[in-house]
């Protein structure tokens, strides 16, 4: 998976985007890093971003969609790192 995060800026705020969830238009507000992560996950899975968000919506339970998307991205990327092995961020080497 290739995850290209936007440059870190302290003034980045969540951005709202229109998406289609299960055929219905809605909007989702996420930080740029989470939009990038969800795009990378959708690309890896060879599905559209709308399809991925629809899947997240179907599994979110009582959690809000934006929160569910953040948690999904964090868990997915955590599982991805675990499949690769531990990454030591201090030196970039695998343990």
- Taking the chain (95 residues) in consecutive chunks of 10 residues, what is each chunk's mean pLDDT? 71 87 92 94 95 95 95 92 68 49
Q: How far apart are CA 73 and CA 67, in angstroms?
A: 10
Q: How far apart are CA 63 and CA 68, in angstroms?
A: 6
The domain segmentation of the chain, as residue ranges, is: 15-85
Q: How far apart are CA 86 and CA 39, in angstroms?
A: 23
* pTM for the model: 0.78
Question: By the 8 A CB rule, do 52 and 42 touch?
Answer: yes
């Amino acid at each position: 998976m290739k995850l290209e995060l936007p440059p870190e800026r302290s003034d980045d705020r969540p951005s709202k985007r229109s998406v289609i969830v299960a055929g219905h238009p809605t909007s989702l507000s996420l930080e740029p890093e989470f939009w990038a992560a969800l795009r990378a996950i959708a690309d890896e899975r060879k599905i559209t971003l709308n399809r991925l968000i629809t899947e997240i919506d179907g599994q979110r339970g009582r959690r809000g969609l934006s929160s569910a998307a953040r948690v999904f991205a964090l868990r997915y990327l955590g599982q991805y790192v675990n499949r690769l092995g531990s990454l030591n961020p201090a030196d970039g080497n695998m343990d």
